[in-house]
Amino acid sequence: MSVLDRAESRPGVARTRAEEEHRKTLLLDPRPQEELNTMVLEAMQRTGREYWVVVGVLAVLALGGFLGAWLYMILTGVGVTGLSRPNYWGIFIASFIFWIGISHAGTFISAILRIFGAEYRRPITRAAEMMTTTSLLVAASFLGIHVGRVWVSYWIVPYPNQRGLWPNYHSPFLWDEMAIITYLVGSTLYLYLPLIPDLAMARDRLAGWRGKLYRAMALGWTGTESQWHHLNLAIKVFSVVIIPVMFSVHTIVSWDLAMTKAIGWRSSIFAPYFIVGAVYSGLSAAITVLIIARSSMKLHYFIREEHINALARLVLIFSFTWTYFFFADFLTEWYGGDAAGHTLITLQTVGQMAPFWWTMLFFNIVVPWLTLWNGRIRRSPIALLLITIGINIGMYLERYIIVTGFLRRNHTPFNWGDYAPSVVEIAIIGGSLCTFLLLYALLSRLVPLIPVWEVREGQLTHGLRRVGRATVPTVAELEE
Amino acid sequence: MAEDKYRWGMVVDLDLCTGCQACVVACHAENNVPTVGEVETARRRSMHWIRIERYWHGADDELRAEFMPLLCQHCQNAPCEPVCPMYATYHDPNNQLNIQVYNRCAGIRYCGVNCPYKVRHFNWFDPYFPEPLNEQLNPDVTVRRRGIMEKCMFCIQRIRRARDEARARGEPFNTEEVKPACVQTCPTDALVFGNLLEPESEVARLARSPRAFVLLEDLGTEPSLFYLKRGESYVRTG
């Protein structure tokens, strides 16, 4: 429980000290508003030579790997991958699931923590929401990369046409497409709404092309009472509405697999298992991004060790939950599965998938369980950077094992076959990572990465007021 | 004609199959199925719409090979059909056939993942017909381009032609006339084709045989392909 609750029982000095600590996580050492604004605006314009070198390298890799290798595959055929007859789906679908998983962090941090009133969310929501939007774009592109004829893939969209054809609503793939489009639109709007006051703040302080851009994007925000009222109402509604959409996305992604007759895939536990895995890897990625953004953009005032600590606690909880689901899924297959299911288990534990399988367990269970219980490790940015990158390697391997491992064996042994990604596939996968980083790097210099008004709101509502000689909490805090 | 209702089916007598692969060659010739070459075949990308699966039985002295021809099972409850978002995998209600609409396919390969028999084939590259195979392409069948799924359709071009010719002559359609290329070619008559809805057709009679079974019956796919069990004690009747 929080420091405050523990302090409840102990009066006097301890309470004051605990409260002070709590206030530090809420950034309750307020500085003048203009100073906050300047800090965020400076961070946004921090585009030195290093930044452009990084962006340039990422752009080359993204163009070459992502677009170049993909174009080569379009022009020659999907045969340039390592796919073959039993392995019709490969690393592209695994990557698709991975990036969809990353996109869950934004909604989780921003919407769920907002609804539950977790105060530490304030400065980190924007960074997480931006991750949602960019990773969703990368994920959606994998649907196009995967298919054999990308030039006709628009047929999946239900639009009236002269042939009277309509997509098949029985197919989980179509549900998937609907859920992703809904989530992409929803999360982009959800990113945009709380951005408006910050864009207006930037508009008032910057000239040139930025000024023009923010003028258009701020939609004439002046900060009147009625505007604030409408904005708060819209954010409240969106926070509630976006949560079921988030759940629907990874549920349906898991159903892509769970609705089939493939051994190991047909499992009723897949939907919650995938959602927990998605939030687990998404939260870890959020920590990675926050640590990098914090040091590269000098945001130490806003993003503190306490925020990383709070997120790391959540990561540990999700590590426990993920392990529980993994164990339940594995145990039922091992105990009750048929011969074909047992070949799959052998393949994973001691067979050709074993290096991936054990690495996954190491990064997803062993490392977090041994380190994250320790408060000092949770507050150390370097340690957490390594741990969270490890967790995402583990989660990527989990998707790789589930998608490509389970297809290798089936009911008819004549049709067993192995799979290894080809150079083209690896180039596209690497390129997609660079594309994500590139989009994020560009976006981080285009919009304020810290929601200044939300931080300020937190400081005002939880601040202390001096009345005469006494120091009293603000009314908002007493109401809670 | 709406009243035309058929359920095309096939019976494979495992006792009679010698594993000679003539059906495979016939199918390639009839349906313009490309040969992909040694390298791609070794990578498990061969495209035989009908293939002879070979299983070893026994060990050492007792070792013997057993053959099982495997083609699309034309399931009545086909796993490949609902998962296709494009309706490229389609159930023909008049013929009870599992039809692949080539020009509707976008190559998502969901059907191939969900097919428990693994009888659906993907065009990994554009088809290539080396000399002199390019001279013998069947004009009744489209050549499929890269990026789409294809599979056995019980030589539906032959079914349609036989039905249309009977209609043109003004005669009733005798379903026994239709023979897919593999059935026509099989030297031991191990393959029997016909309309399962006519109780007296040979295929319907054989499908009722005590030797008859369907593959992976517990999956509930209701295939239209029946296998006659192998075994010396049985004598084929009918």
SS3 content of chain A, % helix, strand, coil (to 5): 75, 0, 25
Is the peptide bond preceding residue A194 cis, with omega within 30 degrees of 0? no
Chain A interface disruption, residue of B91, B103, B108, most A CBs within 10 A: B108
Query: How many angstroms separate the CA atoms of A398 and A332, rounded?
Result: 18
Report which of residues A16 and B238 the model is more confident about: A16
Question: Measured on CA atoms in the order A125, A126, A131, A133, is the torsion positive or negative?
Answer: positive
Most confident of A59-68, A463-472, B147-156, B228-237: B147-156
Return residues 200-259 of A near B (CB < 8 Å).
256, 259
Query: Partners of A282 in the beta sheet?
Result: none
A162 half-sphere exposure, CB direction, 13 A CA radius: 0
pLDDT at B112 over 80: yes
Least CB–CB distance from B85: residue in A84, A88, A167: A167
Chain A interface disruption, residue of B81, B117, B118, most A CBs within 10 A: B118
Q: Take residue B208 and report the two structure tokens written for it.
A: 């009722």
pLDDT at A11 over 60: no
Residue type, A9: S
- Percent share of chain A, pLDDT over 90: 50
Distances (CA, A) of A305 to A107, A351, A373: 22, 42, 15
Least CB–CB distance from B124: residue in A79, A170, A172: A79
Tens digits of residue pLDDT in A38-48: 888 888 887 78
Q: Do A89 and B116 touch (CB under 8 A)?
A: no
Confidence at residue B234, expressed as pLDDT on a 0 to 100 scale: 43
Confidence at residue A15, expressed as pLDDT on a 0 to 100 scale: 56
Q: Take residue A466 and report the two structure tokens written for it.
A: 């001096």
Q: Is B65 on the interface with A (CB under 8 A)?
A: no
Q: Do B107 and A78 touch (CB under 8 A)?
A: yes
| Window from A186-190, A283-287, B232-236 with minimum mean pLDDT | B232-236
Confidence at residue B233, expressed as pLDDT on a 0 to 100 scale: 47
Return residues 72-111 of A near B (CB < 8 Å).
76-79, 83-86, 88-89
Give the mean model confidence (pLDDT) for residues A445-457: 84
The rounded mean pLDDT for chain B is 90
Query: Partners of B51 in the beta sheet?
Result: B70
pLDDT at A12 over 80: no
Least CB–CB distance from A412: residue in B44, B107, B118: B118
Q: How many residues does chain A have?
A: 480
Give the mean model confidence (pLDDT) for residues A459-472: 69
Element (DSSP H or E) covering residue A459: helix A452-461
Query: How many angstroms separate the CA atoms of B228 and B210, rounded?
Result: 8
B109: nearest CA partner in chain A: A88
Confidence of residue A3 (pLDDT cuts 50, 70, 90): very low
Distances (CA, A) of B56 to A342, A415, B53, B216: 21, 14, 10, 19
Confidence at residue A4, expressed as pLDDT on a 0 to 100 scale: 47
Give the mean model confidence (pLDDT) for residues A134-156: 92
Tens digits of residue pLDDT in B174-231: 888 899 999 999 999 999 999 999 999 999 999 999 999 999 998 999 999 999 988 7
Q: Is B78 on the interface with A (CB under 8 A)?
A: no
Return residues 24-53 of B near A (CB < 8 Å).
40, 43-46, 53
pLDDT at A343 over 60: yes
Tens digits of residue pLDDT in A245-256: 999 999 999 999
Query: How many angstroms separate the CA atoms of A426 and A156, rounded?
Result: 27
What is the DSSP pairing of strand B225-228 with strand B8-13? parallel
Q: Is B4 on the interface with A (CB under 8 A)?
A: no
Confidence of residue A310 (pLDDT cuts 50, 70, 90): confident
Q: What residues have CB less than 8 Å from B189, skipping those under 6 apart?
A: B13, B16
Q: Do A174 and B107 touch (CB under 8 A)?
A: no
* Environment class of A332 (CB within 10 Å of its CB; exposed 0-12, middle 13-18, buried 19+): middle
Q: Is B113 on the interface with A (CB under 8 A)?
A: yes
Q: Do B109 and A88 touch (CB under 8 A)?
A: yes
Q: Do B125 and A76 touch (CB under 8 A)?
A: yes
The residue ranges of every structural domain in chain B are 8-228
Tens digits of residue pLDDT in A74-126: 999 999 999 998 999 999 999 999 999 999 888 888 888 888 877 778 888 88
Least CB–CB distance from B83: residue in A147, A165, A172: A172
Instruction: Mark B195-228 as b/e (b = at least 16 C-beta within 10 Å).
Output: bbeeeebebbbbbebebeebbeeebebebbbbbb
Tens digits of residue pLDDT in A169-220: 999 999 999 999 999 999 999 999 999 998 888 888 888 888 888 888 889 8
Confidence at residue A29, expressed as pLDDT on a 0 to 100 scale: 65
Confidence at residue A14, expressed as pLDDT on a 0 to 100 scale: 53
Distances (CA, A) of A387 to A277, A292, A370, A473: 16, 14, 11, 38
Confidence at residue A464, expressed as pLDDT on a 0 to 100 scale: 64
Chain A interface disruption, residue of B113, B218, B221, most A CBs within 10 A: B113
How many angstroms separate the CA of residue B42 from the nearest CA in chain A? Answer: 10
Q: What residues have CB less than 8 Å from A444, skipping those under 6 apart?
A: A44, A127, A130, A293, A297
Q: What is the DSSP string of A355-369?
A: HHHHHHHIIIIIHHH
Chain A hits for B85, CB-CB cut-off 8 Å, are 156, 167-168, 171, 173-174, 177
Least CB–CB distance from B147: residue in A149, A256, A262: A149
CA angle A77, A83, A89 (to 5 degrees): 105
Q: Take residue B165 and report the two structure tokens written for it.
A: 């010719």
Chain A hits for B41, CB-CB cut-off 8 Å, are none
Query: How many angstroms separate the CA atoms of A91 and A332, rounded?
Result: 26
What is the DSSP pairing of strand A464-467 with strand B121-122? unpaired
Q: Which of B121, B128, B129 is nearest to B147 (CA)?
A: B121
pLDDT at A134 over 60: yes
How many other C-beta atoms lie within 10 A of the C-beta of residue A6? 12
Query: How many angstroms separate the CA atoms of A77 and B208, rounded?
Result: 45
Confidence of residue A18 (pLDDT cuts 50, 70, 90): low
CATH class of B8-228: alpha beta
How many other C-beta atoms lie within 10 A of the C-beta of residue A344? 24
pLDDT at B135 over 70: yes
B190 half-sphere exposure, CB direction, 13 A CA radius: 25
Distances (CA, A) of B1 to B6, B94, B160, B174: 12, 9, 12, 16
Chain A hits for B117, CB-CB cut-off 8 Å, are 412
Rounded-to-10 torsion of CA A86, A92, A97, A99: 170
Q: Is A148 on the interface with B (CB under 8 A)?
A: yes
Question: Do residues A394 and A386 touch, judged by C-beta distance below 8 A?
Answer: no
pLDDT at A60 over 60: yes
Chain A hits for B87, CB-CB cut-off 8 Å, are 165-168
Confidence at residue A341, expressed as pLDDT on a 0 to 100 scale: 85
Tens digits of residue pLDDT in A204-214: 888 888 888 88
Q: What is the DSSP string of A232-300?
A: HHHHHHHHHHHHHHHHHHHHHHHHHHHTS--TTT--TTHHHHHHHHHHHHHHHHHHHHHHHHHHHTT-T
Instruction: Mark B38-68 as b/e (b = at least 16 C-beta within 10 Å).
Output: eebeebbbbbbbbbbeeeeeeeeeeeeeebb
A174: nearest CA partner in chain B: B85
Confidence of residue A302 (pLDDT cuts 50, 70, 90): confident
A93: nearest CA partner in chain B: B108
Confidence at residue B72, expressed as pLDDT on a 0 to 100 scale: 95
Query: How many angstroms separate the CA atoms of B33 and B28, rounded?
Result: 5
Confidence of residue A17 (pLDDT cuts 50, 70, 90): low
Taking one residue from A and the other from B, the number of pairs with CB-CB distance under 8 angstroms is: 124
DSSP A217: H
How many angstroms separate the CA of residue B120 from the nearest CA in chain A? Answer: 8
Q: Is B213 on the interface with A (CB under 8 A)?
A: no
pLDDT at A418 over 50: yes
Tens digits of residue pLDDT in A367-413: 999 999 888 888 888 999 999 999 999 999 999 999 998 999 888 88
Q: Take residue A167 and report the two structure tokens written for it.
A: 């997509």
- Percent share of chain A, pLDDT over 70: 90
Q: Do A167 and B121 touch (CB under 8 A)?
A: no
Tens digits of residue pLDDT in B20-31: 999 999 999 999
Give the mean model confidence (pLDDT) for residues A305-325: 91
Q: Is A409 on the interface with B (CB under 8 A)?
A: no
pLDDT at A480 over 60: no
* Environment class of A35 (CB within 10 Å of its CB; exposed 0-12, middle 13-18, buried 19+): exposed
Q: Do B146 and A148 touch (CB under 8 A)?
A: yes
How many angstroms separate the CA of residue A415 from the nearest CA in chain B? Answer: 7
